[in-house]
């Protein structure tokens, strides 16, 4: 159980076997920007358990950008954040929501305050994509050790 004085709502990440045979940590969160710290905690917890702490900064950046995109572009009440260990050096970060609209990179105006999230994901992740689902979509990104 995770919770602090500044975050009175403890979270309960769920550990489950992934299709790759490696474990995955998942958590269902409210679809609000305030869920970004919980997503970061989930990522750091999983990476610490797998001794992949060196991926934490990049993986957290990817997760926060994907959470922000889901919050901005869907009316889904909840999102599901997951981190899966694909092998000894690679993890997959995924955010699932109930919107069927797939993400698309768009050029941001030079003076824009937002609109660069997928550019950051593209720059940090080894690869990323979105899988349409019958009930929404799953956006994922792979982060690898150098």
Is residue 24 included in any domain, yes or no? no
Is residue 7 included in any domain, yes or no? no
Is residue 19 included in any domain, yes or no? no
Is residue 111 included in any domain, yes or no? no
Cβ 71 vs Cβ 35: under 8 Å:
yes
Is residue 12 included in any domain, yes or no? no
Tell me: pLDDT of 1 over 70: no
Is residue 134 included in any domain, yes or no? yes
At 48, which CATH number? 3.30.565.10
- Percentage of the chain lying above the pLDDT 70 cut: 77
Cβ 139 vs Cβ 128: under 8 Å:
yes
Is residue 40 included in any domain, yes or no? yes
Instruction: Quickly tell me which residue has 């689902």 as its tokens.
Output: 133
Domain count, the chain: 1
How far, in Å, are 99, 110, 126 from residue 113 at the CA level?
24, 9, 25
CB atoms within 10 A of CB 108: 14
At 35, is the pLDDT very low, low, confident or very high (cuts 50, 70, 90)? very high
Predicted confidence at residue 111, as pLDDT, reads 65
What distance in Å separates the CA atoms of residue 93 and residue 38, rounded to the nearest whole number? Answer: 14
pLDDT in tens, 71-116: 998 988 999 999 999 998 999 999 999 999 998 777 666 665 565 6
At 16, is the pLDDT very low, low, confident or very high (cuts 50, 70, 90)? low
Domain that holds residue 138: 32-100+117-144
Is residue 127 included in any domain, yes or no? yes
pLDDT in tens, 44-63: 999 999 999 999 999 999 99
Tell me: pLDDT of 42 over 90: yes
pTM of the model: 0.81
Predicted confidence at residue 142, as pLDDT, reads 98
User: For helices 36-49 and 56-73, what crossing angle results, to 10°?
Assistant: 150
């Amino acid at each position: 159980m995770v919770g602090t004085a500044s975050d009175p709502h403890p979270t309960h990440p769920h550990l489950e076997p992934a299709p790759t045979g490696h474990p995955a940590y998942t958590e269902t969160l409210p679809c609000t920007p305030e869920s970004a710290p919980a997503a970061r905690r989930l990522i750091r917890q999983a990476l610490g358990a797998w001794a992949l702490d060196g991926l934490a900064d990049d993986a957290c950046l990817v997760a926060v950008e994907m959470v922000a995109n889901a919050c901005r572009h869907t009316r889904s009440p909840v999102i599901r954040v997951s981190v899966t260990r694909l092998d000894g050096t690679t993890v997959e970060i995924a955010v699932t929501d109930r919107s069927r609209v797939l993400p698309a990179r768009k050029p941001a105006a030079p003076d824009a305050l937002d609109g660069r999230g997928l550019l950051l994901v593209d720059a940090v992740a080894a690869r990323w994509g979105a899988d349409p689902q019958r009930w929404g979509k799953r956006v994922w990104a792979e982060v690898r050790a150098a």
